[in-house]
Structure 1
Amino acid sequence: MYNKDFSAEDILSVTRTIARDLTVPELFEEAIINREGMLSKRGAICIYTGKYTGRSPKDRFIVDTPSVHNIVSWTNNAPCTEDTFKRLYCKIRNFTKNHKMYVSDNFVGADPEHQLQVKCITEYAAQHLFLKELFINPEIPPTTPHDFTLVCCPSVLADPLEDSVHSEAFVIINFDYKMVIIGGTKYCGEMKKAIFSVMNYILPQKGILSMHCSANVGKDGKSAIFFGLSGTGKTTLSADPHRELIGDDEHGWSENGIFNIEGGCYAKCIHLTEDTEPEIYRAVKYGSVLENVVLDPRTRKEDYDDARYTENTRVAYPLSYIPNAIHPSMAGHPNAIIFLTADAFGVLPPISRLNPKQAMYHFLSGYTSKVAGTERGIVEPQATFSIGFGEPFLPLSPLKYARLLEKKIQEHNTKVYLVNTGWTGGPYGIGSRMKLKYTRAMLSAALDGKLDNVGWVADSIFRVEVPDFCPEVPIDILKPINTWADKAAYKRQAAKLVDLFAKNVRKFKGEMDDDILSTGPKM
């Protein structure tokens, strides 16, 4: 077994060719020359990720060492041994001896007090361009030592039997060596989420809440954060032309306020149109990276409705491509928190108000329906519960994040809303997806204070408060049962979801206060 130092410097010392700190145009040129992708009609580079078109949760590991064993939550993180990490590290090191690697130092964390400097080493130029767009790029390459290393070599495959992993793909985080190694998968989201997991390990231990959320700020200076899993609308709803964008996916909440962890956006493209999502549509241009979007073979025109490769088509672009994005990506403490869910049962209200204890309940529940494409094997919505709407990326005990959120809400008197961007008028397959214009209208009303003086009525099943009026939204939409032709069927579907909520929170019995766990839905 290789016994030298496991580090970026060690890998680069044997690498055949190093392309260091290339600019966006240079990376574009390299990617085209290497035949890594095609140029789209709008000027973006389009790459295809093959077998892996979404994250592969079963192939993600944290190295179990004495220094982290009692800190990491192993109930929602898979351990691997140091030997597994070392074997795969050596495979990557041997690969680089005969290949060109792309290298640069980027930052994550817009707040200078809480930044992490990451040395990024990738096999493909297009992947490196992705990281240039998603992370924060210093104008001058830093001369300070990096804090963490990210190495991605999709051509390096694991042997499940030899390496004690589940497939040829692997994503391994080693906190002792401050390194992430990735192989076997070309899906760019693995790199992004691995570093987010690193920040989720570091920040809470400093008393900073790390969040899987988007964020924006109004002209009045009041910020809002949007929690939600992929497919619930975080990116779409935070890109509001009437508010300034802070970030679309990952943020920290410190004593100074909220700050973006990234420097770019990674938006879903399926069925993208300029009419429905103009900010994202216009961000597809030179400098951005399309992932698994079908192009016309002659004109290279993007076909956002073609899902032949995956429903999880994506575009990565820098925040500067959104006209109303603020720089630096920071704002004060949030005035409102939005929990986004895509309810495939079609029974949750489209918007409801939560008291502090209900806010904790729904944060711990993290209910939504996983939508097609975001993970391998998901072909239609499936009900799921994910603590903090991001449990797969939480290395620490989920209760650590929940209690930090509770403390922040109490300290800053933050309002909390639950917003359903899922189905109405029936479950998935019968009802229809909530219209984006209605969701935008409800959010605008909540964030602009237009719901402060309307009547609120407690839902008899879900026990959250529902407004009896919202500007620009049909009244029947506000109460889900009114949109169902078969009222008895609504109640049967609601009973199924209530039962799922109850089963999910049982795991917190004895760990969270009963007055929080008792605030959930009840038939």
Structure 2
Amino acid sequence: MSSVSISNELNELLMGKNVHIQLSVPQLVEKVLNRNEGLLTSTGAVRATTGKYTGRSPKDKYIVEEASTKDKIDWGSVNQPISEEVFTNLYHKVIHYLKEKDEVFVFKGFAGADKKHQLPIQVINEYAWNNLFAHQLFIRPNEDELKDHKAEFTVISAPNFKADPSVDGTKSETFIIISFERRTVLIGGTEYAGEIKKSIFSIMNYLLPENNILPMHCSANVGREGDVSLFFGLSGTGKTTLSADPNRRLIGDDEHGWSSNGVFNIEGGCYAKCINLSREKEPQIFDAIRFGSVLENVVVDEDTRVADYDDSTLTENTRAAYPIEAIDNIVVPSIAGHPNTIIFLTADAFGVLPPIAKLTKEQAMYHFLSGYTSKLAGTERGITSPQATFSTCFGSPFLPLPATRYAEMLGEKIDEHNAKVYLVNTGWTGGEYGVGNRMKLAYTRAMVQSALEGELTNVETVKDEIFGLEIPLHVPGVPDEVLQPNKTWADQDAYEKKAKELAAKFRENFKKFTNVSNDIEQKGGPIA
């Protein structure tokens, strides 16, 4: 099937009498309730459940192997190739399936707050609640923008359409397929809304570098003097907590682009984890969950309709989706200047990385490519002790291009804009997990604040003998002895053994990057 025939088939679907285009939030909420897709909670948010898929399905994600893209994609276990024939056959089946539905929902909007680099998108949904999710997560057009809106990428989500692997060429009933030539994402067999969000991010990770824009999986905020900071970090490192600063305005909480003009949010909303959420710990997120927000897999009392954020019966990965405007302290529009400070967050359960360290450009590129944190015992089946985990560029599942492309762009921008980069360990001190203690949040906040305010630029440092990191000797509000991890361990031999163990894991992980300059590997990583 040609691109023209695919386009014609899509147009036929969109012209159908069963299609609702750009329903308002109240209309979508009514549809969700009338169709029994979810229930209304005590705060006015909609709660939906997603069945057996309560997270992304990375083994079911594919990119179509096409002439114009096949030599650019970093093929492998993350970017799995699939044939044009498989995509075309599934596309035809999904479109036919949606034509037969009583109702289909379409959202038209944008990815990218910087209008010079916006991607017009449309999201076509079998479920009203998935469409409400798209409405809240992406950038919503005004009336004039909607009149002239022409989607350059389309996401089609049909959760109840399940593939037959023996016929359709997939690994399971579930599929998430990106075709860059057809400018289309096909999603089937999963109700999990995060697949919609992350498909667009994957697309932006492919398209933006073509315009010398670095796509980033990070949060961003701006200070009163206009200074911009970025926070990179995997789950559990404190990215959301530390970027939600009452003295700084939020640009965005998860996905950004860094262009020649500065930083811009890719999204128009937030998709926050809400397990153990409370107003005391996360007041901004807690209060954002109101009418129009979407709660995913959160347990709700059937009588009172009050959400129990501590209940993980359905999943630990409970989520809340809401527009960024639900946060009071934000930048409007979600655009700011070039970053002054970049924070890499890690939760080191081995207790050997310093709580804060200054990074050179080479070290920044090394740790960006490494994307290190720890998985703790109990977080996944079979994990009985802390395990080092590495996610390239702090977002490996969403990178269609070779990782070194993103790292090189980061290095160039650090140089060009003289950004200061710090590695901040929010993990353990005084011993590994089970022996030492988690770094006090008050200390981490004090270190981050000092970094953002430029107080560490010229501070005296000492070099870590194993990791080669420059550790500040003094940080306001933090005891000096806390800053050097070897001084917090009672058993120095145990410290050195554990530190060398982690350093070896860094070096082993880095072997997969075969086209990295010697400067990055030798100057950036642990001392051999």
TM-score by length of 1: 0.94
Ranges in structure 1 where 5+ consecutive residues have no aligned partner: none
Match of 1:312 in 2: 317
Match of 1:326 in 2: 331
Distance 1:186 1:247, change over 3 A: same
Match of 1:399 in 2: 404
Asked if structure 2 preserves the Cα contact closer than 8 Å seen for 1:56 and 1:375, the reply is no
Asked if residue 25 in structure 1 is aligned to residue 60 in structure 2, the reply is no
Asked if residue 414 in structure 1 is aligned to residue 419 in structure 2, the reply is yes
Match of 1:434 in 2: 439
Match 1:223 to one of 220, 228, 251: 228
The 5-angstrom pairing of residues 231-250 of structure 1 reads: 231-250=236-255
Distance between the aligned counterparts of 2:168 and 2:155, measured in 1? 20
Per-residue displacement from partner, 1:403-456 (whole Å, max 9, x unpaired)? Answer: 111111111111001112233344345444434333222211110123335432
1:73 aligns to what SS in structure 2?
A: coil
**Pairwise CA distance, 1:504:** 1.5
Per-residue displacement from partner, 1:361-417 (whole Å, max 9, x unpaired)? Answer: 111111123579999999996422222111211111211111111111111111001
Distance between the aligned counterparts of 1:399 and 1:14, measured in 2? 44
TM-score by length of 2: 0.93
Distance between the aligned counterparts of 1:343 and 1:503, measured in 2? 17
Distance between the aligned counterparts of 2:14 and 2:241, measured in 1? 43
Per-residue displacement from partner, 1:255-284 (whole Å, max 9, x unpaired)? Answer: 111111001111111222222222112111
The 5-angstrom pairing of residues 472-491 of structure 1 reads: 472-491=477-496
1:522 aligns to what SS in structure 2?
A: coil
Greater alpha carbon shift after TM alignment, 296-305 vs 241-250: 296-305
Distance 1:190 1:486, change over 3 A: farther
**Pairwise CA distance, 1:108:** 0.5
Match of 1:57 in 2: 58
Match of 1:354 in 2: 359
Letter in 2 for 1:43: G
Match of 1:197 in 2: 202
Match 2:122 to one of 119, 134, 142: 119
Distance between the aligned counterparts of 1:34 and 1:477, measured in 2? 56
Asked if residue 138 in structure 1 is aligned to residue 141 in structure 2, the reply is yes
Match 2:131 to one of 128, 131, 140: 128
Match 1:97 to one of 93, 96, 99: 99
C-alpha root-mean-square deviation of aligned residues, in Å?
2.4
Asked if structure 2 preserves the Cα contact closer than 8 Å seen for 1:59 and 1:170, the reply is yes
Asked if structure 2 preserves the Cα contact closer than 8 Å seen for 1:107 and 1:116, the reply is yes
Greater alpha carbon shift after TM alignment, 345-354 vs 315-324: 345-354
Asked if structure 1 preserves the Cα contact closer than 8 Å seen for 2:349 and 2:376, the reply is no
Distance between the aligned counterparts of 1:53 and 1:108, measured in 2? 24
Letter in 2 for 1:105: K
Asked if residue 517 in structure 1 is aligned to residue 521 in structure 2, the reply is yes
Distance between the aligned counterparts of 1:257 and 1:430, measured in 2? 43
Match of 1:6 in 2: 6
Match 1:88 to one of 77, 87, 90: 90
Match 2:182 to one of 174, 177, 181: 177
1:203 aligns to what SS in structure 2?
A: helix
Asked if structure 1 preserves the Cα contact closer than 8 Å seen for 2:38 and 2:47, the reply is yes
Letter in 2 for 1:522: I
1:152 aligns to what SS in structure 2?
A: strand
**Pairwise CA distance, 1:2:** 9.8
Asked if structure 2 preserves the Cα contact closer than 8 Å seen for 1:54 and 1:375, the reply is no
Match of 1:450 in 2: 455
Distance 1:38 1:480, change over 3 A: farther
Distance between the aligned counterparts of 1:233 and 1:378, measured in 2? 21
Asked if structure 1 preserves the Cα contact closer than 8 Å seen for 2:159 and 2:187, the reply is yes
Match 1:303 to one of 308, 314, 317: 308
Asked if structure 2 preserves the Cα contact closer than 8 Å seen for 1:16 and 1:98, the reply is no
Q: How many positions carry a matched residue from both structures?
A: 522
Letter in 2 for 1:60: K
Match of 1:273 in 2: 278
Distance 1:204 1:23, change over 3 A: same
Per-residue displacement from partner, 1:455-499 (whole Å, max 9, x unpaired)? Answer: 322122211112222233343432333444444333332222111
1:507 aligns to what SS in structure 2?
A: coil
Match of 2:40 in 1: 39
Match of 2:500 in 1: 495
Letter in 2 for 1:31: V
Match of 1:363 in 2: 368
**What fraction of aligned residue pairs are identical, expressed as a percent?**
55
Match of 1:340 in 2: 345
Distance 1:74 1:293, change over 3 A: same
Distance between the aligned counterparts of 1:47 and 1:263, measured in 2? 21
Distance between the aligned counterparts of 1:499 and 1:12, measured in 2? 55
Per-residue displacement from partner, 1:223-253 (whole Å, max 9, x unpaired)? Answer: 0111222333322222211101100111111
Distance between the aligned counterparts of 1:55 and 1:475, measured in 2? 42
Distance between the aligned counterparts of 1:280 and 1:325, measured in 2? 13
Ranges in structure 2 where 5+ consecutive residues have no aligned partner: none
Asked if structure 2 preserves the Cα contact closer than 8 Å seen for 1:55 and 1:376, the reply is no
Letter in 2 for 1:122: N
Greater alpha carbon shift after TM alignment, 136-145 vs 77-86: 136-145
